[in-house]
Amino acid sequence: MTSGYKSFLIVISAHLNWLFSIMKQALPLILIGLLITFKSFGQDRFGYYYRDSLVAQVHLFQKKNKKMDSLEKSFSREIGKMATRYMKFVQKSHDILDQVEALKTNQQWVDSIKNYQKAGLHILDSLESRNQFYINNKIYTVNSLYKKENGFREIHSKSVVIYCPSCINLTQKIIAKFNENQEYKAPTNH
């Protein structure tokens, strides 16, 4: 062997010896760190729920959603009535003067329909935002109670859980928790 090759092997050997000595010293620290990490997370329980199923099956949320649907339908009916009145007005104009008057008021009718529609959509968006805030707040409250009572560390909507093979589907249990609480129960017909 040449002297350059021998010196290279000596340098590599020295570096490997140094690396192994550090690994021998660090290995216990790494193992302790892993044990502490696994031990602290080993007893934790995680769960998820399907928000759409929860909202669809809890009476309190159904009532809120029915109110929103009713309001949306009433806005649509009113816009339809406004459009019908406008069409009747245009159809009644037979002579040229009436048609000129109809054309002048055309933009006013269209603007009033658009303004009503815009105001209605703004109201619906505002109510929908408040409705979603209310629903999320109630879900958070019930989830917090369920977590404390059943030893779960985290419970999230399935839509935000990317991967969690040990997570438990708690949708039906959370719905049952809602139904347990008198405030959220459906009224009984006696």
Do 113 and 170 fall into the same domain? yes
Residue 189 falls inside a structural domain: no
Residue 80 falls inside a structural domain: yes
pLDDT category of residue 35 using cuts at 50, 70 and 90:
low
Do 91 and 73 fall into the same domain? yes
Q: Is the dihedral of CA 90, 92, 96, 100 positive or negative?
A: negative
Residue 145 falls inside a structural domain: yes
Say if residue 36's pLDDT is above 70.
no
Q: Which residue has the higher pLDDT, 106 or 76?
A: 76
Say if residue 74's pLDDT is above 80.
yes
Lowest mean pLDDT: which of 69-73, 102-106, 114-118, 124-128? 102-106
d(CA 35, CA 138): 38
Residue 139 falls inside a structural domain: yes
Of 64, 54, 106, 62, which Cα lies nearest the Cα of 85?
Answer: 106
What is the percent of the chain where pLDDT is above 90?
2
Say if residue 131's pLDDT is above 80.
yes
Do 94 and 179 fall into the same domain? yes
What's the CATH code of the domain at 76?
Answer: 3.30.910.20
Do 15 and 58 fall into the same domain? no
Residue 190 falls inside a structural domain: no
Do 38 and 67 fall into the same domain? no
Amino acid identity, residue 11? Answer: V
Domain with 138 in it: 44-184
pLDDT at 42: 47
Q: What tokens were used for 147?
A: 């977590």
Do 10 and 81 fall into the same domain? no
* Per-residue model confidence as pLDDT tens digits over 91-123: 766 666 666 676 667 777 778 878 888 888 888
Do 62 and 19 fall into the same domain? no
Do 157 and 143 fall into the same domain? yes
pLDDT category of residue 90 using cuts at 50, 70 and 90:
low
The tally of domains found in the chain comes to: 2
pLDDT at 189: 47
Residues 6 or more apart from 82 whose CB is under 8 A from it? 109, 112, 113, 116
Residues 6 or more apart from 58 whose CB is under 8 A from it? 175, 178, 179, 184
Residue 165 falls inside a structural domain: yes
Sheet holding 168-169, edge to edge: 154-157, 46-49, 168-169
3-state secondary structure of 157: strand
Do 87 and 123 fall into the same domain? yes
pLDDT at 40: 47
